[in-house]
Amino acid sequence: MAPTKVLTGARVVLPTGTVDDGRVTVEGTRIADTAPGGSRAAGTADLSGHWVVPGFVDLHNHGGGGASFTGGTAEDVLKGVHTHRTHGTTTVVASTVTGDLDFLARQAGMLAELAQQGEIAGIHFEGPFISPCRKGAHDEGLLRDPDPAEVRKLLDASHGHARMMTLATELPGGLDSVRLLAGHGVIAAVGHTDATYEQTLQAVDAGATVATHLFNAMPPLGHRAPGPITALLEDERVTVELINDGTHLHPAALRLAFHHAGADRVAFVTDAMDAAGFGDGRYMLGPMEVEVADGVARLVEGGSIAGSTLTLDRAFKRAVTVDGLPVEDVVRAISANPARLLGLDDRIGSLEPGKDADLVVLDEGFDLVGVMRRGEWVIDPRLG
């Protein structure tokens, strides 16, 4: 049996608030107890001057560490997953990009095996059922209307591990596909869309519950044509993804989303591609060639932003130090809310007895110094 681990002295962020000089006790893979104060006796990890927060949960991630979830092998996926774990993401959903339907089905089968093994939390299909008007870094020649029969093909290929699908719900078959996804317990996300305000509300009424990277790849907010942004921010049934890398969103846009949606309806995501945690250079995002320069990924042809090189530890630090958000609100957005959306909040997303011992240790400047996943240190803060 694994020895008990006791972490003491840190500011621990719990669902009820932050506890100064807190204690977290881990037995095996689970949290056994959280409490104020604690002994500094031998066998404890004294984390005075640090923060302890829940492990991060990423709903939307295409790869990292030079490896791709979108077209890579199982070994590639594991490499990318490990890269993000070292940056605090203890739970990751693997996202695909637009491709040939048969190829996507084969990739889904491989990803489903990794989900069965507990390496990833499931599959997110971003494309091919999106609008050519808002395609971003997706191959227009492979886009298609969301035929429910084809949606079902991808769900079947996922063997119960499909977690989310991004759709342009205004396209023919869009609303029926939303209803199909909702009926199978899969998140229908509105994104890469040219929908009107009214069309977006119809999608939410049909069962859509997530906005894929709000503001990006959708019509801008207008005072006569409020579009999908307004509809998605207004509706309490919707959680909005935000990419907080300083490239995809101006800080004022991020604060606007938090103000209107509230901290319980925001989920920070990376939308990361292969270069996350790796470096500048040329990469492939599905069939599209990407140039990464100064940490910003853009298509070689056309120059559209092509995902990000973000890791969630950077998103956390930026949210607190640049955007001025309370730490507790950031924890909701980066851990609790995505865990709830995935239906995994009974196991992850907060530091509570009985849940998986997934946690992140940050120093006073909110730089990551430790990561624990299921009771084992990925990065031990005592060795830094």
Cα separation of the two ends of the chain:
26
Q: What are phi and psi of 61, to 5 degrees?
A: -155, 125
pLDDT digits (tens, 9 = 90+) for 113-125: 999 999 999 999 9
24, amino acid identity: V
Q: Look up residue 1 and give its amino acid.
A: M
The domain limits of the chain are 5-53+349-383, 56-341
CATH superfamily placement of domain 5-53+349-383? Urease, subunit C, domain 1 (2.30.40.10)
pLDDT of residue 175: 98
336 token code pair: 């609790």
What per-residue confidence (pLDDT) applies to 41? 58
For the segment(s) 56-341, the CATH number from 3.20.20.140, 3.40.1110.10, 3.40.50.300, 1.10.760.10 is 3.20.20.140
274, 272, 341, 353: which is closest to 313 by C-alpha? Answer: 272
CA dihedral 263, 264, 268, 269 (to 10 degrees): -160
Question: Residue 265: what pLDDT?
Answer: 98
Residues sharing a CB contact under 8 Å with residue 257, sequence separation 6 or more, in sequence order? 214, 215, 233, 240, 242, 266
Closest CA to 136 of 149, 147, 125, 127: 127
Distance CA 148, CA 158 (A): 15
Secondary element (H or E) of residue 290: strand 288-293
Q: Which of 76, 271, 274, 358 is catalytic?
A: 271
Whether 367 is catalytic is: no
Q: pLDDT tens digits for the chain (384 residues)? A: 678 999 999 999 999 999 999 999 999 999 999 998 765 655 688 999 999 999 999 999 999 999 999 999 999 999 999 999 999 999 999 999 999 999 999 999 999 999 999 999 999 999 999 999 999 889 999 999 999 999 999 999 999 999 999 999 999 999 999 999 999 999 999 999 999 999 999 999 999 999 999 999 999 999 999 999 999 999 999 999 999 999 999 999 999 999 999 999 999 999 999 999 998 999 888 888 899 999 999 999 888 888 899 999 999 999 999 999 999 999 999 999 999 999 999 999 999 999 999 999 999 999 999 999 999 999 999 875
Kindly write down the DSSP assignment for every residue of 94-132, as one continuous string.
EEE-S--HHHHHHHHHHHHHHHHTTSSS-EEEE-SSS-G
Tokens of 222: 């207008």
Q: What pLDDT score was predicted for residue 382?
A: 82
